[in-house]
């Protein structure tokens, strides 16, 4: 079902760019779907020995892009909810490749939306951790089973110092404690 929805979404994006020869050039404001065909690699990350993932950015305005990823020649939206929602467009705020882990984030609508992807060492499938917050992540904790992304909280309305997103639960939770350094490898993101 997801493949069918993605195929329909991509077909719609491609058809939106088709212009009959007898019509003048389109002068409307670009939309996120318009830039998908113009996506260019902005980062290449080696996830495992023979697997490389590209982060692609398609411009849709000044300093505004729509992100997607490409693994083994197959492109996918940067965020898992993309087939059911319009693509997220924003300013590329973070793009890193750290020891086989791809980290990226967009700044949009006053917030940050991003993801962390790696090839799981046991299942050999792509493991994904998505986040949406008001600040860029501070650090990433990784072990054989799990990834945890730490985002500092800002403002007086937060009772905790951090929001910690876990690949195991797929959610963020507030915390005043950082993950144990003895159980995880830490990567600074800022």
pLDDT in tens, 27-62: 545 454 544 567 899 999 999 877 899 999 999 988
* Res. 18 pLDDT band, cuts 50 70 90: very low
Give 133's strand partners: 112
> Where along the chain do its domains lie?
2-23+30-188
The contacts of residue 106 (CB under 8 Å, 6+ apart) are 65, 67, 78, 88, 89, 90, 91, 92, 93, 112, 113, 114
Q: What is the pLDDT of residue 116?
A: 97
* Res. 6 pLDDT band, cuts 50 70 90: very low
Task: Name the pTM for this structure.
Answer: 0.78
């Amino acid at each position: 079902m997801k493949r069918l929805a993605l195929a329909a979404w991509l077909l719609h994006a491609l058809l939106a760019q088709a212009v009959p020869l007898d019509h003048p050039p389109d002068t409307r404001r670009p939309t996120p779907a318009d830039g998908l065909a113009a996506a260019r690699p902005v980062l290449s990350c080696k996830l495992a020995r023979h697997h490389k993932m590209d982060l692609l950015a398609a411009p849709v305005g000044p300093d505004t892009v729509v992100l997607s990823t490409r693994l083994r020649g197959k492109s996918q939206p940067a965020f898992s909810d993309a087939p059911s929602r319009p693509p997220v467009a924003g300013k590329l705020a973070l793009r890193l490749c750290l020891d086989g882990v791809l980290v990226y984030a967009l700044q949009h609508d006053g917030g940050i939306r991003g993801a962390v992807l790696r090839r799981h060492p046991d299942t050999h499938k792509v493991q994904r951790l998505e986040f949406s917050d008001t600040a860029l992540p501070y650090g990433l904790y990784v072990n054989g089973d799990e990834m945890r992304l730490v985002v500092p909280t800002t403002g007086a309305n937060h009772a905790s110092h951090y929001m910690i997103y876990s690949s195991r639960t797929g959610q963020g939770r507030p915390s005043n404690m950082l993950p144990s350094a003895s159980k995880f490898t830490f990567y600074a993101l800022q």
